Amino acid sequence: MLRERANVGVTFQSYSLSQDAAGEELKSWSTLATRQALMLPMSGSQRAERAATHTLSVRYVAGLSRDHRVLIGLTYYEIHDVIDVDENGREHICRIRAIEAG
């Protein structure tokens, strides 16, 4: 059913830390999963409560958490919440907010 409603391609990314030659900490991102998702804007009252601006409904991604980020088109989003719908490992709802455009 989710596939029929999907309207946007999303890439979930995880990060790892390393150091450059000068000892500076570097955060590098890699792809955790790519999915099709339904992306909907949140209402004004929902935004005020959570600071998130959109919700994503997406097929389950093992290990997905607030430590990851979402890439949609050229825009990166931070993840505010990850909810396992019905706690059955089939679908996630994520509340997200844009953090930077590429």
Q: Which residues contact 85 (CB under 8 A, 6 or more apart)?
A: 91, 92, 93
User: Is the per-residue pLDDT at 67 higher than 90?
Assistant: yes
Higher pLDDT, 100 or 52: 52
- The share of the chain scoring above pLDDT 90, in percent, equals 60
Q: pLDDT band for 1, please (50, 70, 90 cuts).
A: very low
The torsion angles phi and psi of 64, rounded to 5 degrees, stand at -65, 135
Asked whether the whole model's pTM tops 0.75, one would answer yes
Q: Which residues contact 63 (CB under 8 A, 6 or more apart)?
A: 32
pLDDT, tens digit, for every residue of 21-52?
A: 888 888 899 999 999 999 998 876 655 555 89
| Residue 21: its H or E element | none
Look up residue 6 and give its two tokens.
């999907």
